[in-house]
Amino acid sequence: MSSRLSARSLRLVVRTFSELCITVGALIVLFVAYVLLWTGVKAADAAEGEIETLHSRWAQEPAALSPGPSSAPSPAPYRDGKPFATLHIPRFGADWEWPVLENTEARTLQKGLGHYSGTARPGETGNFAVAGHRRTYGDPFKDFPRLRPGDAVIVNDGTTWFTYRIAKEPYRTVPTDTAVVDPVPRRSGFEGPGRYLTLTTCEPEWGSSHRLIAWAHLDATRPVSEGKPPDLTG
């Protein structure tokens, strides 16, 4: 009698454990689907909305499409969490376009790329530094390791196209290495003040223990009124 009870109890334990494993597995699958699919859908919609906001704003500011006198006042500071430019990397695809928003907070990077507050504006002397997700929230920098010297990184602020050129293959470092976004970035190979751009993302692809960095220098500018630069039309 006792042996039958023991066997029955053992089967109950095994069945309960099996059901628990199946439940946990299903939850993991659902979570992965959420991370891979739903955050991507949300990010794509959010990024599209931010780009539409920019285009609408630029359309309502026709005076900004022509350069003003040299004595024009300094531009207004960027607003936290708000878009101010779009960024294009032809290496990642002809239609690859993401909005650039002010600051690199988590909620900002869920809607696009984030500008490191305090770094230069596009085209300014200094270092225009931008962060983006490698994976999740649209995977904007999924193909980051594919960047190569000479690749174009193009920024549009509504008045000007700024074409930067990647200077070297991506550099791997740790998150505490903040010197990579200095005005003259450490280990970039740049030897003095200039008009630079820094892109940063997480490394490895599905982790965040390190960072991948890509540096570029300003190669050309073009008024928006003259159409897209050659790297976007060729």
Number of H helices, E strands in the chain: 4, 9
CA distance 142 to 133: 8
Q: Catalytic one among 133, 134, 135, 195?
A: 133
CB 89 within 8 Å of CB 142: no
Q: What is the per-residue DSSP string for 1-53?
A: -HHHHHHHHHHHHHHHHHHHHHHHHHHHHHHHHIIIIIHHHHHHHHHHHHHHH
Taking the CB of residue 189, how many other CB atoms lie within 10 A of it?
Answer: 10
CA distance 24 to 26: 5
Told to judge if 211 belongs to the known catalytic residues of this protein, a careful annotator would answer: yes
Q: Catalytic one among 88, 115, 135, 211?
A: 211
**Long-range contacts (CB closer than 8 Å, 24 or more residues apart) made by 117-122:** 117/78, 117/80, 119/181, 119/183, 119/198, 120/183, 120/195, 120/196, 121/75, 121/78, 121/157, 122/85, 122/155, 122/157, 122/160, 122/162, 122/197
Q: Catalytic one among 88, 135, 195, 202?
A: 202
Told to judge if 21 belongs to the known catalytic residues of this protein, a careful annotator would answer: no
Annotated catalytic residues are 133, 202, 211
